[in-house]
């Protein structure tokens, strides 16, 4: 399993298993993912599957220490004290005594919170406390645009190590991604397949045919070649396997340029500055 190093030296597997909307047969699906070789699982309190993922981790032969486990604090738990408490609840549900990565799921935004910046800074202070306690090996953000990250960096004692963003052909968030790279913040691509919305795109089909791969594989390799970590999700054993164990190949510079030039496609519609939650 290929890994890249976070700014604190921690190795993160470049392909993680996404679990949003995974609420049925969770234990079986996670067992399948571990069987074919995933060693990185991405969940969140709001996904309501931490307990089942914890059960799967209890029942596997794979050692906890070789699994990179991420969860996220939900929007209703922002702020210093609430975040510390939410973290403990996630640990309990996941039946583990540490996380590899803990993220702030979404920034508070000015649309809903006049004191959004203060809320985000207070939440980040809790993340720092958790990191110093040793209960989490790395801390980071999710859905923080450049200006939200800047707010955190202004006063951060410990810089975020990760920012998890929607990223796929047709939605590249170039400003935020390049800002994160420049600040040594690893970007994780959520919905790397556009939640399935890209898979029948004729332009991507044409490019993927040149490499004799599926559109899904092309999307994953595209993000990996951009230096991102990818978090594909599937409940189909064949897709679970092929999203991790595809044969190595390289997308040519010209095709990378063509993919980057695509017009917007597959956007989830969730924008951090206008979101209601």
Ligand X SMILES: NC(=O)c1ccc[n+]([C@@H]2O[C@H](COP(=O)([O-])OP(=O)(O)OC[C@H]3O[C@@H](n4cnc5c(N)ncnc54)[C@H](OP(=O)(O)O)[C@@H]3O)[C@@H](O)[C@H]2O)c1
Residues that bind ligand X (CB under 6 A): 18-20, 42, 105, 142-143, 164, 190-196, 199, 214, 216, 231-236, 239, 242-243
- Complex with ligand X: residue 18 or 54, whichever CB lies closer: 18
**Which residue among 38, 47, 102, 131 is the active-site one?**
47
- Complex with ligand X: residue 13 or 192, whichever CB lies closer: 192
Minimum distance from residue 28 beta carbon to ligand X (Å) = 13
- Complex with ligand X: residue 18 or 160, whichever CB lies closer: 18
- Complex with ligand X: residue 42 or 77, whichever CB lies closer: 42
Residue number, nearest CB to ligand X: 18
Both tokens assigned to 224: 């990996």
DSSP structure string for 184-216 = T-EEEEESTTGGGTTTT-HHHHHHHHHHT--HH
- Rounded Cα distance between 235 and 227, Å, is 26
Minimum distance from residue 277 beta carbon to ligand X (Å) = 11
Q: Could you tell me if 244 and 15 are in contact, meaning their C-beta atoms sit under 8 angstroms apart?
A: yes
- Complex with ligand X: residue 91 or 219, whichever CB lies closer: 219
- Rounded Cα distance between 53 and 243, Å, is 20
Residue keyed to tokens 């399935």: 196
Instruction: Decide if 211 is catalytic.
Output: no
Which of 235, 252, 242, 197 lies closest to 220, judged by CA? 242
Minimum distance from residue 208 beta carbon to ligand X (Å) = 11
Minimum distance from residue 93 beta carbon to ligand X (Å) = 16
Minimum distance from residue 22 beta carbon to ligand X (Å) = 7
Residue 163 neighbours by CB under 8 Å, 6+ apart = 140, 141, 142, 144, 149, 176, 180, 185, 186, 187, 188
DSSP structure string for 5-58 = E-TTS-EEESB-EE-TT--SSHHHHHHHHHHHT--EEE--GGGT-HHHHHHHHH
- Rounded Cα distance between 259 and 215, Å, is 12
- Give the residue numbers marked as catalytic: 47
């Amino acid at each position: 399993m290929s890994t890249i190093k976070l700014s604190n030296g921690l190795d993160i597997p470049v392909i993680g298993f996404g679990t949003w909307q995974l609420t049925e047969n969770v234990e079986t699906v996670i067992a399948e993912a571990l069987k074919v070789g995933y060693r990185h699982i991405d969940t969140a309190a709001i996904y309501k599957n931490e307990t089942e993922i914890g059960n799967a981790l209890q029942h596997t032969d794979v050692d906890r220490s070789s699994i990179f486990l991420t969860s996220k604090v939900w929007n209703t738990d922002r702020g210093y004290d609430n975040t510390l408490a939410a973290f403990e609840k996630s640990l309990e549900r996941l039946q583990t005594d540490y996380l590899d990565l803990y993220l702030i799921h979404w920034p508070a935004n000015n649309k809903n919170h006049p004191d959004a910046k203060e809320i985000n800074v207070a939440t980040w202070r809790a993340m720092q406390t958790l990191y110093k306690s040793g209960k989490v090996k790395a801390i980071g953000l999710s859905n923080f645009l450049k200006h939200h990250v800047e707010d955190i960096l202004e006063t951060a004692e410990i810089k975020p190590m990760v920012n998890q963003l929607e990223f796929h052909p047709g939605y590249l968030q170039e400003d935020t991604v390049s800002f994160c790279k420049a600040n040594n913040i690893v970007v994780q691509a959520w919905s790397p397949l556009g939640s399935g919305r890209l898979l029948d795109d004729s332009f991507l089909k044409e490019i993927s045919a040149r490499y004799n791969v599926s559109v899904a594989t092309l999307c994953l390799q595209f993000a990996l070649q951009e230096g991102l970590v990818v978090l594909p999700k599937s409940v189909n054993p064949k897709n679970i396997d092929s999203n991790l164990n595809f044969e190595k190949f390289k997308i040519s510079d010209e095709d990378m340029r063509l993919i980057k030039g695509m017009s917007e496609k597959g956007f989830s519609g969730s924008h951090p500055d206008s979101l209601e939650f």
